[in-house]
Structures are given as structure tokens and as C-alpha cells.
A and B are shown apart, each in its own frame.
Chain A
């Protein structure tokens, strides 16, 4: 009983409420004419689409840099990789992997500078990360207009230069992961094997990394930087590594998202993708200085489940679209909850 109580306390009421809300939605779904199998399929798909971006939160949380509101930098690196891959006319799996490879140097460079900055402003990381992300996106907006891309599927037809706001990847690597070994059951249920395997691979690599010497040091830096320093760990270096990894995962995450979604979205599209990733990991039970693979898994499923189920179920139920409002309140409420939660560091 006591264990149960502390479990609830650690897990936090908001998450439990969200969990039961989601369960209730699934139970109600058949009664309002929403197909469960289609819903499950949808949730799985969206989970795969978003999980790597949520995973990108882990290293920075673990190393004590807080929630990565600057994930946009990684997303932009991914967009650069994706557009370059299209520019080079890489198709199929080659195109997809090419995009990741091309995005890697960008994500390392961006991440390195971003980490330099964050190490200078310890304690104020989150607000600054947010604005660095915004201004970088705006800077890239200008770049998208003037970079010399010329693949006709990507540039504005009438001007002949400047990238389109949305670029279809249909002829390149649309659903390359989703369709890999996909299992179709019935008319509505598709199990996106490739996508989930890919996510699992990254989660496993992250798991391995967190158990390595560097990963251990990083966790200690986040848990108690003074302890880590006293044990001979270079705190700034660990933080830098974590930021670079996070940025890289952001880049991979957006490419995975695009292959499933079907479009590369440029210009200001990356900014609204950051908050859901932050909210998801918090819903999964992470705090602003501790996160695990379980948090990523649970959080992404809960949050994406909510995003999938509320429009269909609530709308059929109330005949009105409340899902947006619920989405806003839940995701921001969750971040707010994490920020204002008294951290139980018994110093």
C-alpha cells in the first residue's frame, strides 16, 4: 500500500489522469463508431513517427541541460540532410540513409556551437534554448530562400529558385521504413515493422550508450555536477556530448517523421514540433533532470494516443472538435507541472 502511494507520488497525478483518460477513450471508441483496429494502427504509426524526436530529449535531460527547447537545431539539420538527399536524387533506402548521413555533419556542427553556448549560460538553458531555436529557424527561413537548390520537385515553379514550403518525398523515400516488412492484418490494421525496428534500434543504441563509461559520467553530471567533477569528470565536455547527441537524434527524428508523413516541411514548420516532444517525455514520467527509455516509450504512446484518439472519439461524442484545446491544455499543462514541481533533492 505504501509502495503504491510512493509510486503514485513519483509518477504524478497528471500522468495517471492522462493514462485513464486515454483508456476511457479506447473503451468509448467502439460505441461512437470509431474502429479500434484503425486507431491502434494509427497510434503505432504516430508512435514510430515521433519516438526518435522524443528520444532526443533524453541525453540533455540526463546531463542536466534540462528540456531541449532548442531541438529545432537538430530538426533543421535533418531538413538540410533530407533536402540535400533529394537534391542529389538519391532514391529508396539509399535516399533515406543518405539523408541521415548528410544531416550528420550539420547536426554535429550545430550541436557543438549550441553546446558551447549552453555551457556559458548554465542555469538559464531552457529560456535561451527556446529563443536560440526560434531565431535559428528564422535564419534558416532566409537560407531556404537563397540556397542554390535546383531540383524542380523542390523549388518554387514560378521563380525557379527558393524551396517550396512542403516538398513531397513520394518519388524518393516515402514510407520506406513504414513499408519495410509491414504486416497487414485485416483492412485497417497495419503493423509498421520497419519503422518500429528502426526506433527500437535507436532506443537500444541509446540504452547501450547510457551504460557506457561516457554515458555513466553524463548521468552523474545531470544528477550531481559537483560529484561528477570531484570524480574527475569534465562536466562541460559531457554536456557538449549530450547536446550533440540530442541534436543528431533530432535530425534523424525529423527524417523518420518525413518518410512516414510523406512531406518535407520547411520554413517555420520545425518550431511547433518541439513542444510536443518535450511534453511527451514529461508525460512519460521524466522530470527535468531524469529521463529513461521507459519514459520515452510510455510518454510517446500516451501523448500520441491522446492526439489520435481525442479528435476521433471526442468529436464523435460531442459533435464538436475539442481535440485542439485538449491538446494545448494537456501538453502545456504537463510542461508547467514539471517546471513547478518541487524537486525532491534532499540536500
Chain B
């Protein structure tokens, strides 16, 4: 590979990362924010978001793309927190309790999600996205109508005045930052939520370890070639379901960590954007639909949130409107996802064309080709 080609591959692979670094660097001076403030914000947001983003890794390994269905786990976590608040369980004990409640729910939802995705192979992403909306309907039904009527809610202060259904905004005062505050390190003027980071580190260790297990190996095999894996006797569908279940459970825990840091819960739409932010972050970090690493997660959260911190103020200063910065960062968030998906799809097609080209030449084409042409488009078959 020539040096120039290497350079161009590097740029096309890390295009998103490079664009992001540049935009953020440009926006820092006009925002008027001090570097120290930005760093502290990034530390806080790393603790708040990393866990959620890490939940995306396994489905990518298993070849199921970006798991937009992780929102299901987030909903399970929220149900857990609602119960924790209802029973008045506070502090980190409340978080553990919420996790224990959310766990079986997220396993069940993950299983359902896996089943659905197995029925829509090749369309996992859009299916996960719609499934999240669908389950959202059921979540709304459960929280708005079941809680307080079918399932008694002891704590009347979280129930709507009509007697059932949970209030729009839930004050999580009893568990607010209880994980972060177990040990809050103060180093050089920065506050670092030590325990939160330890939990995140443990998850990273788990992911690394998991990749070394048989199941992890099977997941990689399934992710690369389902047909070959199936022929080798690996239970493909089961493996895919397990990947989604683990992702959903991690998303459940991640949402609990996220919300304890935020300190309150928008009961009916806190989960709306969970998948979007996580996916945008991992893509900004240089991951693609098929490749992702732990490094992508942390790089992505750092970059995405650095921009999120900076852009509204920069927009205010540059255009005289905070809304412009606000819209700009959303434009960038959605745009990043769109561009990454486009680049990925485009690259896959190019690779397929190149592979075809390499068939010609000295050796024979492989296979007892049945002459099924790979031309034209598969459309949305």
C-alpha cells in the first residue's frame, strides 16, 4: 500500500473523529469557557455516559450493528428507579435495588428484542429503532396506567393527583449522585467520582475478559459470517439473542448510573434519546457498524460531550442565539450517525466490488457458481 493510499484510508476511517476535533477546537475560544471548566464537565459526563455507551459493544461484535434497541434496557432501569423511589430506598442501596428490579425486566425485554431481530436479519438497526418505539408504548401504558392502579404505589407523592400513573418528573433526590459521592476524589480542583469510574473500569475488564471466552469467540464468528458459524455448529440465533440480552442489561445499569447523576427522571421521555446519544458517541469515537473498541467509547464520549458543552455558548457568541448552538449540536449528532452509516454502507459495497474484481486473473473463480448475479441492488427485499 502506498503512503498516499495509507494516508487516505486513515482519513476516511477517522474522518468523523478528525472533523469533530476540529469543530470543537474552533468552538472553544468563542464559547468563552475555561479549559478547566470544560475538563470538569467532560469528567462528569464520562462518568455519566460511558457505561451506556459500553453497552453497545457486544451487539457490534455479534454483527448486529448499532443496538438502537438498548432503549429497552433504559426503560427497565427507569422502572427500577421508580420502585426504588416508591419504597423510599435511598442512597447507593436504592441504586442496587433499582438494578435488581430492572434486571429481570431487561433480560426479558432483551430476549424479545433478540427474537425480533432474528426475524429481521440484515435490518437489525431500523428494527431495533422501531422496536424501541413500540416498547415505549407499552412502557407508557405500564407507568401511566398500571402503576398506582393495578400495582399499588405506597408513595403518594410520586403518583399523579388522579390517583394512578407516575408524575411527569420524578425527583430522585434520595439517590441523587449517591454512586458518585461514595468517594469523590478532589485532585487539582477537579472532582472525580471514583466509584463510578471503578464500576466503568470493571465493565471494561468484563468486556475484555468476555472476548476471551467461548461465547465471545462465537459472537465474533457469528458477526463475521452467520452461514459459516451455523455450519460449524455454533447456535447462531441463540448467540445473537445473548448478545442483545447482555446489551440490554448493561443499558439498564447504564441508565441507572446516568439518572443518579442527573438527579431527576423525566418519567415519560428520559429514555427517548438514550440510544441516540450512545450511538452518536461511539461513532464519533471512530467506531463503525462492524468495528468498535473500548477506546472508541471513551474517545467518543469525550469528543461528543466536549462539543455539547461548548456549542450552545459558542452559538450564542457567534450568532447571537443560543438556539443556533443548540440546533447545531443536534444537527451534528444526527449528521454523524448519518455520515457514519453512509460511509459504512458505501465502503461495504466498494469492498464487495473489489472482491469481485480480484476473482478475475490467474485463478479460477471459487465455487460451483449457480450464476446468481450479484448485480443490481438487493433493494429492501
Asked whether, in the complex, the Cβ of B380 is within 8 Å of the Cβ of A141, the reply is no
Asked whether, in the complex, the Cβ of B334 is within 8 Å of the Cβ of A336, the reply is no
Q: Which residue in B137, B141, B337 is a CB contact (below 8 Å) of A332?
A: B137
Q: Which residue in A235, A322, A335 is a CB contact (below 8 Å) of B145?
A: A322
Q: Separation in Å of the B255 CB from the closest CB of chain A? A: 20
Q: Separation in Å of the A340 CB from the closest CB of chain B? A: 4
Task: Provide the bound-state CA to CA distance between A288 and B376, in Å.
Answer: 18
Please give me the 3 A-B residue pairs with the lowest Cβ-Cβ distance, nearest first. Answer: A64-B379, A328-B137, A138-B331
Asked whether, in the complex, the Cβ of A123 is within 8 Å of the Cβ of B345, the reply is yes
Q: Which residues of B contact A250 (CB under 8 A)?
A: none
A-B contact count (CB 8 A): 150
Asked whether, in the complex, the Cβ of B349 is within 8 Å of the Cβ of A120, the reply is yes
> A: which residues have CB within 8 A of B?
64-67, 69, 117, 120-128, 130-132, 134-135, 138-139, 141-142, 145-146, 162, 221-222, 225-226, 228-229, 235, 239, 275, 288-289, 320, 322, 324-325, 328-329, 332-333, 335-336, 339-340, 342-343, 345
Asked whether, in the complex, the Cβ of B324 is within 8 Å of the Cβ of A145, the reply is yes
Asked whether, in the complex, the Cβ of A65 is within 8 Å of the Cβ of B380, the reply is yes
Q: Per-residue 0/1 for B351-381: is the Cβ within 8 Å of any A Cβ (1 yes, 0 no)?
A: 0000000000000000000000101111111
Q: Separation in Å of the B123 CB from the closest CB of chain A? A: 6
Q: Per-residue 0/1 for B319-334: is the Cβ within 8 Å of any A Cβ (1 yes, 0 no)?
A: 1010110011011011
Asked whether, in the complex, the Cβ of B133 is within 8 Å of the Cβ of A141, the reply is no
Q: Separation in Å of the B148 CB from the closest CB of chain A? A: 12
Q: Which residue in A235, A322, A339 is a CB contact (below 8 Å) of B130?
A: A339
Q: Which residue in B130, B141, B375 is a CB contact (below 8 Å) of A336?
A: B130
Task: Provide the bound-state CA to CA distance between A121 and B331, in Å.
Answer: 21
Task: Provide the bound-state CA to CA distance between A117 and B376, in Å.
Answer: 16
Q: Separation in Å of the B112 CB from the closest CB of chain A? A: 11
Asked whether, in the complex, the Cβ of A124 is within 8 Å of the Cβ of B345, the reply is yes
Task: Provide the bound-state CA to CA distance between A226 and B378, in Å.
Answer: 9
Q: Which residues of B contact A222 (CB under 8 A)?
A: 379
> B: which residues have CB within 8 A of A?
116, 119-120, 122-123, 125-127, 129-131, 133-134, 136-138, 140-141, 144-145, 319, 321, 323-324, 327-328, 330-331, 333-335, 337-338, 341-342, 344-346, 349, 373, 375-381
Asked whether, in the complex, the Cβ of B127 is within 8 Å of the Cβ of A339, the reply is yes
Asked whether, in the complex, the Cβ of A131 is within 8 Å of the Cβ of B338, the reply is yes
Q: Separation in Å of the A127 CB from the closest CB of chain B? A: 5
Task: Provide the bound-state CA to CA distance between A139 and B338, in Å.
Answer: 13
Q: Which residues of B contact A332 (CB under 8 A)?
A: 130-131, 133-134, 136-137
Asked whether, in the complex, the Cβ of B335 is within 8 Å of the Cβ of A128, the reply is no
Given contacts A226-B376, A329-B141, contact A343 B342 (CB under 8 A): no
Asked whether, in the complex, the Cβ of B134 is within 8 Å of the Cβ of A128, the reply is no
Q: Separation in Å of the B136 CB from the closest CB of chain A? A: 6
Asked whether, in the complex, the Cβ of B123 is within 8 Å of the Cβ of A329, the reply is no
Given contacts A66-B379, A145-B324, A328-B133, contact A120 B138 (CB under 8 A): no
Residue of chain B at shortest CB distance from A67? B380
